[in-house]
C-alpha cells in the first residue's frame, strides 16, 4: 500500500468528528449498536442508512475472505447496482475513512454541497475503483481529517501503526433485476462490492450477517458495530 495512516478508533465521537469535518449534515450521525439481539437493535435510532463494522483480522477470517473472493471470481454474484461507489483501499490503516466514505456516499443522507466529501464523491463518478483510490491518496484534506479524528479518540495515538483490526460497512442498493433492495457489503480490501442478499431491514439483516459471517468464526471480543442514522434526540 502507498502510505500508512494512524488507525481510526471505532466510536461514534471519532466517526462523527470525521463526518462533520468532511461535510455530513448534523441531521444524521453515527451511533453505537450495543448488541445484535432484537431488544438492543430496537434501541438504535431509525431509519438506519448504513452499518459500520470493526472486526479483528485473523487467520480464519483471511481464509474465508480468500475463499469467498475466489468463489465470486469463478461463479459471479447477482448483478450489482451500477451507481454503487466503491473504492479500492491502497492506504494502510485508511479502512476507517474508507468505511465512512462508503457508508455516506452510498446512503441517501445530506452532505453539504461544497464540502470536501461532496466534491470528492462528484470526482469519483465515472472513475474506476483504482482511480478513486489514487484520488484519495492525492487529496491531503482527507489525510488531515483522518489524522484529526484519530487523534481525538479516547485512546492514546499508537506508536506502532500495525493493526489487526479492520472496518467494513453495509448499505442497501436496488437490484438491477427489479427484485427489490439488496444488502451490499463494501470493504476496500475485497475485490469489489459484495451482494449479501435481499434486504428487508438493513440493521437486522446486517446483524445477522455479522453474527454468521464474522462472529461465528471468532472468539475475539474486538468487534464494534455502529449505525448511520438520525441522532437519538433528533425530531
- Please list the active-site residues: 95, 166
Check if the beta carbon of residue 186 is closer than 8 Å to that of residue 86: yes
User: What is the residue whose three cell numbers read 488531515?
Assistant: 144
CB atoms within 10 A of CB 163: 15
The string of DSSP codes covering 63-84 is HHHHHHHHHHHHH--SPPPTT-
User: What are the start-end ranges of the E strands in the chain?
Assistant: 3-4, 29-33, 50-56, 91-92, 165-174, 181-186, 194-198, 224-229
CA torsion through residues 60, 62, 64, 67, sign: negative
Contact 147, 165 (CB under 8 A): no
In the block, cell 448499505 appears at 171
Amino acid at each position: 500500500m502507498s502510505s500508512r495512516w494512524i488507525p481510526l478508533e471505532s466510536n461514534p465521537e471519532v466517526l462523527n468528528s470525521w463526518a462533520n469535518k468532511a461535510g455530513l449534515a448534523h441531521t444524521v450521525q453515527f451511533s453505537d449498536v450495543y448488541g445484535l439481539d432484537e431488544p438492543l437493535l430496537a434501541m438504535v435510532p431509525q431509519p438506519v442508512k448504513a452499518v459500520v463494522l470493526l472486526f479483528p483480522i485473523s487467520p480464519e477470517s483471511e481464509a474465508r475472505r480468500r475463499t469467498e473472493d475466489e468463489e465470486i471470481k469463478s461463479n459471479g454474484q447477482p448483478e450489482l447496482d451500477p451507481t454503487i461507489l466503491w473504492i479500492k483501499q491502497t492506504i494502510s490503516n485508511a479502512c476507517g475513512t474508507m468505511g465512512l466514505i462508503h457508508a455516506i456516499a452510498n446512503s441517501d443522507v445530506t452532505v453539504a454541497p461544497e464540502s470536501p466529501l461532496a466534491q470528492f464523491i462528484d470526482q469519483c463518478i465515472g472513475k474506476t475503483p483504482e482511480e478513486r483510490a489514487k484520488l484519495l491518496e492525492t487529496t491531503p484534506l482527507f489525510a488531515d481529517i483522518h489524522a484529526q479524528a484519530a487523534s481525538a479518540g479516547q485512546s492514546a495515538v499508537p506508536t506502532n501503526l500495525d493493526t489487526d483490526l479492520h472496518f467494513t460497512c453495509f448499505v442497501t442498493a436496488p437490484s438491477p433485476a427489479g427484485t427489490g433492495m439488496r444488502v451490499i457489503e463494501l470493504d476496500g480490501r475485497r475485490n469489489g462490492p459484495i451482494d449479501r442478499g435481499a434486504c428487508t431491514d438493513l440493521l437486522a439483516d446486517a446483524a445477522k450477517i455479522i453474527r454468521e459471517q464474522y462472529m461465528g468464526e471468532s472468539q475475539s471480543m474486538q468487534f464494534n458495530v455502529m449505525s448511520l442514522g438520525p441522532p437519538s434526540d433528533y425530531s
